[in-house]
């Protein structure tokens, strides 16, 4: 057993208007009112952050953004700065999600800059890594993840990374209904921890939480969480429904 505290994170992606987000967050706070032994985070769209922040304040649910820009301010139309997220009530920010990499040209270099900006503003970055179906089939999973991790965390020290969270999300399992088996997830999480150990030392590698993301549901969460190197989940579609998401949070019951 580890002393890493589990984190169940919900990524709402481009779903929910402000009223819908407030309604969902309110239901979630009620459903999770007795939760004390696990960290919970939700990432609504930017437009709903401030309103959802008011709803979850004082509860076990923390607020996350889905992305940020690395500059403090300036002529960057359409972008959101770290300070804006903090002022809206965010504690976490998702960085390098596969959809950002796939559709919006996110690279390991921009992931690195965003992580630095998050740390500079006391936000906890949830750094996403993962391979495509083609990369897995050609047996390149480990080389792809090694590069994403090393380049994404270049020029950081182990001290810098104490608050980092990593999310492994195989691209072939996101929104497809396919899920990595618990053994596949464990194999990759163990590998990621070994890369961290080589780069930043054993103490950091053992303390960093690594989440699994990719079609996580109430019926597969307990099996995934039983793996020694799986510390939580980054949940997409199943986080949009408060009842379903609360069942995932309560995987021990």
**Residue 109 and residue 141 in contact, taking contact as beta carbons nearer than 8 Å:** no
pLDDT at residue 225, rounded to an integer: 96
The pLDDT value given to residue 1: 40
Grouping H, G, I as helix, E, B as strand and the rest as coil, residue 49 is helix
Based on the residue annotation, tell me whether 197 is a catalytic residue of this protein.
Answer: no
Dihedral pair phi/psi, residue 12, rounded to 5°: -80, -10
* pLDDT tens, residue by residue, 13-66: 999 999 999 999 999 999 999 999 999 999 999 999 999 999 999 999 999 999
Q: List the catalytic residue out of 99, 106, 131, 169.
A: 169
Distance CA 174, CA 105 (A): 18
Confidence (pLDDT) at 133: 87
| Tokens 């990621």 -> residue | 192
Query: How far is residue 66's CA from residue 47's CA, in Å, rounded to a whole number?
Result: 11
Q: Which residues contact 251 (CB under 8 A, 6 or more apart)?
A: 8, 218, 221, 222, 225
Domains assigned to the chain: 7-249 (3.20.20.70)
Integer-rounded Cα radius of gyration of the chain: 17
Q: Which one is catalytic: 71, 97, 243, 253? A: 97
H-only helix segments in 90-181: 98-103, 108-120, 133-137, 141-152
Ranges of residues in the chain with a pLDDT under 50 are 1
- Catalytic (active site) residue 243: no
């Amino acid at each position: 057993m580890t002393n890493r505290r589990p984190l169940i994170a919900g990524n709402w992606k481009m779903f929910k208007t402000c009223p819908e987000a407030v309604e969902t967050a309110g239901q979630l706070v009620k459903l999770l009112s007795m939760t004390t032994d696990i960290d919970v985070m939700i990432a609504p769209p930017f437009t709903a952050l401030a309103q959802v922040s008011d709803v979850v304040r004082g509860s076990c649910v923390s607020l996350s953004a889905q992305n940020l820009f690395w500059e403090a301010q300036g002529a960057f139309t359409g972008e959101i700065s770290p300070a804006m997220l903090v002022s809206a009530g965010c504690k976490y920010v998702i960085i390098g999600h596969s959809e950002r990499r796939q559709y919006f040209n996110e690279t390991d270099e921009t992931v690195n800059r965003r992580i630095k900006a998050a740390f500079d503003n006391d936000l906890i970055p949830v750094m996403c890594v993962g391979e495509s179906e083609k990369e897995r089939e050609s047996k390149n999973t480990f080389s792809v993840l090694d590069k994403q991790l090393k380049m994404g965390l270049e020029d950081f020290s182990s001290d810098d990374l104490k608050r980092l969270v990593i999310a492994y999300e195989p691209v072939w399992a996101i929104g497809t209904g396919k899920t990595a088996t618990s053994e596949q997830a464990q194999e990759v999480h163990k590998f990621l921890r070994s890369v961290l150990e080589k780069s930043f030392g054993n103490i950091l590698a053992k303390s960093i939480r690594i989440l699994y993301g990719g079609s996580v549901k109430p019926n597969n969460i307990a099996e995934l969480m039983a793996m020694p190197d799986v510390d939580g989940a980054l949940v997409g579609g199943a986080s949009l429904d408060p009842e379903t998401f609360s069942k995932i949070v309560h995987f021990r019951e």
